[in-house]
Each structure stands twice: as C-alpha cells, then as structure tokens.
C-alpha cells in the first residue's frame, strides 16, 4: 500500500495522499520525510476555535520545515467511530445503520475548515477508511499473537463524552446543588458511569519501566516541559514537581466494547461480538496515515522511508495520556517478540516530540454551547481574514503552556498591531513622495556612496543609537537566525516577538527620520527606503509559515521569491553590501495594501 494513500484536503496537493518532493526554491536535505500530525478530530459537532488552533499550529511547523528543505508529510483527519457518533447519528436520522452517511457530512466540515484556513496538509485520513481498518486488524493480530492482548472482566468507570475508561484514582465524586452524587473524571471533568463487562485487555502495565526510561532520557519527547512532568507523574516517576510517594497504578486497559453496546466501529478480528475500543482504533491512524503496514516493516529501520516516526505530534493537553502512554505502549508491544520480552530500544521508534498545547477560553470563561460563547472559526476568518486569525492564534497561543482567551477585543487589538506595524509601515516607505525623492538621488560611486554607518553594518560594527537606518539593517540581518532558533525550539510566540520588535523599531526610525520632510536630505531618504524595503522583505519571509497569504503578497509586490530560511547566515563585507545594493537599486516598487483594513498612517 503506498504511503499516505487517502484523500487530499489542500487544493494544491495531488490526488494521492502523499507528500511531493520539493524542487526549485526548496532543497531536500534529509532522506527521512518530516512527519507532522494534528489530533484526529472527533466530528460529533461543528469545528470550534480549538480545532483551528491545532490545525494552524501544525501548519506553521509544516510550512517552516518545507522552507528548511524538508519533504514534509502532514496528516490531519477525523476519528469517526464510537458511542457518541453512534448515538448522535441515530438521534439525527431516527434509525440505525446510517453512521457512515452521518460521518461523511461532519468530516467534510473539518475539510472545509482546513481549506478555508489555508492548511497545507498532504493527507486527510478517516478512521472509516478501508486502509485504516486493515492497519487496525494487522496490529491487533500482531499484539494478540505476542500475548499482549487477553480477554478479561473489566469493571470500572467509563465516560461517554471522553470515550475513555478511568480507574478509581482518576475520578472524584461530588454532590451537586440537588444533593445528587456525581462522579467525574479528574482530568477532564466529564461525567463517568460504572460499567462491568467482559472485554479484551491490553497489557499496558508491562510498559511502565520502558516508558519512564524513554521520557526521563528524552527531554524534548513532550514539550513544553510541564507536560512531560505530567506524563512522568502519570507513570509514577519522580520529577522536580512530584513526590516519590505518588505512585499511581498503570493498569491494563480495556481495548474493546461488547458489540451489543457499541456497533459502530472496527470489529475485533475473529470475534464478531466485540468492537475495537475507539481510542485504540483512533491512535493507530498515525501509523496507517504513514502507509502502515510499511514495506520497510521487516527492515532495520521500519517505517523510516515512509516518514515514521512522527517528528512532531500536535495535541491538546486533555489527550496527553492517550498519545504519550497508550500509543507508545502499543509501539513498544509491536517492537517486542512477546509479552515476556520487551525490546529496548524498540524496533519501531516512538514519536520524537509531542507538542502539547493548552485550551482556549472565551472572554475568560470556558467555551460552552449553553453559554453561547463558542467561537466559530469560519465566521472569525470571514470577519478578520485568514491570516489575521492565524496571527492571533500564534501571537497569543504560541506559548502552549496555559489556557488562553479568545476575545474579540483582543483579536481586534492584535490585528491592528500587525496591520499598523507591517501594513502601514510598507505604505509609508513606498509612498509616492518618498519614492520620488529616493529615485532622484545621484549616487556617483554606487554602493560605496552609502553612508559609512550602513556600510559598516556588514563589517560587524555597532552603529550609534542615532543611526536608525544602520541599526534597523543590523536587526533585519539578524532576524531570520533568531526566528529560526525559536522555531526549532517550538516557540512560535517568541519568534513573533522578535518580528514585532524589528517592526516597532522600523516604525520608530521612520518617524524620527521623517523622510517625507523637506528638511530630510535626499541620501537619507534613499537609504531609509532601501533599508525599509529590505526590512519588509525579511519580515515577510519570516512570517511565511504563520501568514502565508501576506508573505505571498510581499513576494509578488517585490517580484523577489527568495527563501528567507535558505541561508540564515547573511553575507558579510563587500559581498553582503553588494547583495543588498543589487537587490534594491533601481527596483520599482509600488506599495500594496497587505490587509483589507488599514489603520491610518
């Protein structure tokens, strides 16, 4: 089966669900494709802003790594099995048996969201796809043959909302206003109910030591670090924030439901009376989405040519347990010869980094249909534009660590920030008055006519504080490298901080210089325009992963299609000065409105 074989979301992709080798602007630098995944969304309701947040986060890193020359394979999709879907479908149609039809409609909403938000995924997988079902059956049979699956009596707590089983230590019982006792999950707050049934069980308890070893020795296995600590605490390991006396049980987990209770799902191989548990089924989509069972499965590096392991998995903090414990345990089991012999290190490697983000609130309150405060991502993009919403999500949410607030006032404020700092700055330096004065400058010695402060930037000399153009040029030359450091550390908000810092200095400088004023000499006008254009070019390139439409407008306006991340080490000395001079001297630039709404200059 070809890798990434499924339907496509992104309009520029080909019909096969596979990443295309990049040519021209981007250079291929690694034999292993860069594999990035979003959570597999559960389409029991319309997409909300949290879904868009996960998609944009993954897309930002996918675009960034393409600019690094990587062959990027980017998976998104929908998790379409389970009791919630079964109940919702039957409530909608008034009859059983139409779950697939129900999912077809709901899944399309997530495709539409991705298309609207300019998400560049190369693959859109559904757990109802035939290729995925084959992968689930293959993995189940392997784990069963190795003794990792057994049939047993399961008694415990189950949440229909979370589609998740919980132990006694993972729930709490409280009394509501009516005096009724309510038991809920400690992790999610969802109501749970007691169930007792004969299910197939997975020997999760066999992998506690191996998982602790993995997360203890791989400091970037889960990011930010606070979530890695959470995983180690779930496993009972001691961290700086936990006590050795906290030793929660890592119990075996149920991985099936009786078909009498759950019909809508993948049937357990060889047992028509049981359905594969929805989370076990859904987690395997990251493997089926990379073409599992791989042609390279029996090689020394199984899955590597097809993209496995995942380089970056984007998830919300509420599903950390499933992605950081359950899926890795399944991979460890697949790698091991039997349940009595756990392979270390595993033949099939675990995901390299799980980037875990917090949640969005609305006006400082949890988003809830009953409160009527659920932010509609499609309406938001219609109101503010795709790029401005993407910018806000990353500007505010790109630190990942704590819950962040969706506020229309804040969206307005941050939209105005980038419109003013970038959009209006561009219109200022490309105004007809400044352009006319700059084009009329006579520079007999060519680039050597530039001021010493400008020329000395290429020799590493620090300009004086009053040399605004030279200081701006120095900041601009350093910007791609600074952005790259933050992006390589998954800190998108810090990368944006660097970009905004440069733009604020650029605006301050042009205000101080006042190149439109008759008192400003012609050479300073020329240099202000030259350095300003270079600043916009570099900023636009740095923003490309986050605001791709805006970056494209800048490239088209300048008719310069250089990859800003191709070589972040700027040329020094005369070669660097020559590159800057040749890029801008004599170039005609007509400023354009980068955003639909511009604040007054």
Give, as one character, the DSSP assignment of residue 206.
Answer: G
Instruction: Write down the mean pLDDT value for the chain.
Output: 89
Most confident stretch, 1-15, 159-173, 267-281, 339-353: 267-281
Range name among 228-242, 266-280, 432-446 with the lowest pLDDT average: 228-242
DSSP 504-532: HHHHHHHHHH-TTSTTS-HHHHHHHHHHH
User: Is the confidence at residue 330, as pLDDT, over 90?
Assistant: yes
pLDDT tens sequence across 164-194: 778 888 899 998 888 888 999 887 888 998 8
Is 306 buried (19+), middle (13-18) or exposed (0-12) by CB count in 10 A?
buried
User: Is the confidence at residue 364, as pLDDT, over 80?
Assistant: no
Q: CA-based angle 347:135:111, to the nearest 5?
A: 115
User: Is the confidence at residue 10, as pLDDT, over 80?
Assistant: no
Q: What is the mean pLDDT of residues 368-381?
A: 81
Fold of 34-147+209-246+279-357: Rossmann fold (3.40.50)
User: Is the confidence at residue 23, as pLDDT, over 60?
Assistant: no
CA 172 to chain centre: 33
With tokens 């609207």, the residue in question is: 116
Range name among 264-273, 424-433, 434-443, 575-584 with the lowest pLDDT average: 434-443
Residues of the chain with CATH 3.40.50.620: 34-147+209-246+279-357
Q: Using 50, 70 and 90 to split pLDDT, how confident is the model at 332?
A: very high
With tokens 């987990």, the residue in question is: 253
pLDDT tens sequence across 77-129: 999 999 889 999 999 999 999 999 999 999 999 999 999 999 999 999 999 99
User: Is the confidence at residue 134, as pLDDT, over 80?
Assistant: yes
Percent of the chain with pLDDT over 90: 70
Superfamily the domain 409-584 falls into: Isoleucyl-tRNA Synthetase; Domain 1 (1.10.730.10)
User: Is the confidence at residue 30, as pLDDT, over 90?
Assistant: no
Per-residue pLDDT at 28: 41
Per-residue pLDDT at 568: 61
Higher confidence at residue 11 or residue 226? 226
Residues of the chain with CATH 1.10.730.10: 409-584
For the four alpha carbons of 210, 287, 322 and 392, in that order, the dihedral sign comes to positive
User: Is the confidence at residue 558, as pLDDT, over 70?
Assistant: yes
pLDDT tens sequence across 195-225: 888 999 999 999 999 999 999 999 999 999 9
Range name among 96-105, 141-150, 168-177, 514-523 with the lowest pLDDT average: 168-177
Higher confidence at residue 281 or residue 153? 281
Per-residue pLDDT at 5: 33
Higher confidence at residue 42 or residue 59? 59
User: Is the confidence at residue 439, as pLDDT, over 90?
Assistant: no
Element (H, E) at 344: none
Q: How far apart are CA 159 and CA 164, in angstroms?
A: 5
Per-residue pLDDT at 317: 95
Task: Indicate the pTM of the whole model.
Answer: 0.89
Is 523 buried (19+), middle (13-18) or exposed (0-12) by CB count in 10 A?
middle
Q: Using 50, 70 and 90 to split pLDDT, how confident is the model at 26?
A: very low
Per-residue pLDDT at 342: 86
User: Is the confidence at residue 301, as pLDDT, over 50?
Assistant: yes
């Amino acid at each position: 089966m070809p890798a990434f074989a499924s339907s496509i979301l992104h309009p520029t992709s080909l019909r096969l669900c596979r990443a295309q080798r990049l040519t021209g602007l981007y250079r291929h630098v690694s034999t292993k494709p860069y594999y990035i995944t979003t959570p597999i969304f559960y389409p029991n309701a319309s997409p909300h802003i949290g879904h868009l947040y996960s998609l944009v986060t993954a897309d930002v890193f996918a675009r960034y790594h393409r600019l690094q020359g990587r062959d990027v394979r980017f998976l998104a999709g929908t998790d379409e099995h389970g009791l919630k879907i079964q109940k919702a479908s039957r409530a909608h149609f008034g009859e059983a048996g139409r779950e697939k039809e129900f999912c077809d409609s709901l899944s399309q909403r997530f495709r539409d969201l991705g298309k609207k938000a300019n998400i560049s995924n190369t693959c859109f997988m559904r757990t109802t796809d035939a290729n995925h079902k084959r992968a689930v059956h293959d993995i189940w049979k392997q784990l069963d043959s190795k003794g990792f699956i057994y049939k047993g009596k399961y008694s415990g707590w189950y949440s229909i909302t979370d589609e998740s089983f919980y132990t006694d230590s993972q729930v709490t019982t409280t009394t509501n206003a009516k005096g009724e006792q309510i038991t809920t999950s400690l992790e999610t707050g969802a109501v749970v109910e007691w169930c007792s049934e004969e299910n197939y069980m997975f020997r999760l308890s066999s992998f506690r030591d191996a998982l602790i070893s993995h997360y203890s020795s791989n400091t970037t296995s889960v990011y930010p670090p606070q979530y890695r600590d959470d995983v180690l605490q779930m496993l009972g390991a001691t961290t700086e924030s936990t006590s050795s006396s906290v030793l929660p049980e890592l119990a075996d987990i149920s991985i099936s439901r009786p078909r009498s209770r759950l019909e809508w799902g993948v049937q357990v191989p060889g047992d028509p009376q049981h359905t594969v548990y929805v989370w076990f089924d859904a987690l395997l989509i990251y493997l089926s989405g990379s073409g599992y069972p791989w042609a390279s499965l029996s090689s020394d590096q199984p899955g590597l040519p097809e993209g496995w392991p995942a380089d970056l998995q984007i998830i919300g903090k509420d599903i950390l347990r499933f992605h950081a414990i359950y899926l890795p345990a399944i991979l460890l089991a697949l790698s091991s010869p039997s349940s009595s012999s756990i392979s270390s290190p595993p033949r099939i490697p675990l995901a390299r980094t799980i980037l875990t983000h917090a949640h969005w609130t609305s006006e400082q309150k949890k988003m809830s249909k009953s409160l009527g405060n659920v932010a509609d991502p499609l309406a938001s993009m219609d109101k503010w534009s795709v790029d401005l919403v993407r910018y806000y999500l990353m500007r505010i949410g790109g630190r990942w660590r704590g819950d962040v607030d969706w506020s229309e006032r804040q969206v307005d404020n941050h939209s105005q920030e980038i419109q003013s700092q970038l959009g209006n700055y561009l219109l200022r330096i490309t105004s007809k008055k400044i352009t006319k004065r700059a084009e009329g400058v006579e520079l007999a010695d060519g680039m050597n006519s530039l001021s010493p402060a400008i020329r000395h930037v290429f020799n590493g000399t620090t300009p004086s504080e009053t040399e605004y153009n030279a200081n701006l040029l120095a900041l601009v030359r350093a910007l791609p490298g600074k952005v790259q450091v933050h992006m390589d550390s998954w800190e998108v908000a810090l990368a944006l901080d660097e970009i905004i810092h440069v733009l604020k200095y650029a605006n301050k400088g042009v205000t101080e210089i006042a190149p439109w004023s008759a008192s400003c000499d012609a050479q300073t006008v020329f240099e202000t325009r030259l350095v300003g254009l270079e600043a916009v070019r570099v900023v636009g390139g740095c923003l490309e992963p986050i605001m791709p439409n805006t970056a494209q407008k800048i490239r088209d306006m300048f008719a310069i299609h250089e990859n800003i991340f191709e070589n972040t080490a700027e040329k020094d000395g005369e070669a660097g000065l020559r590159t800057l001079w040749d890029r801008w001297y004599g170039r005609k630039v007509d400023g354009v409105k980068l955003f639909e709404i511009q604040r007054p200059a």
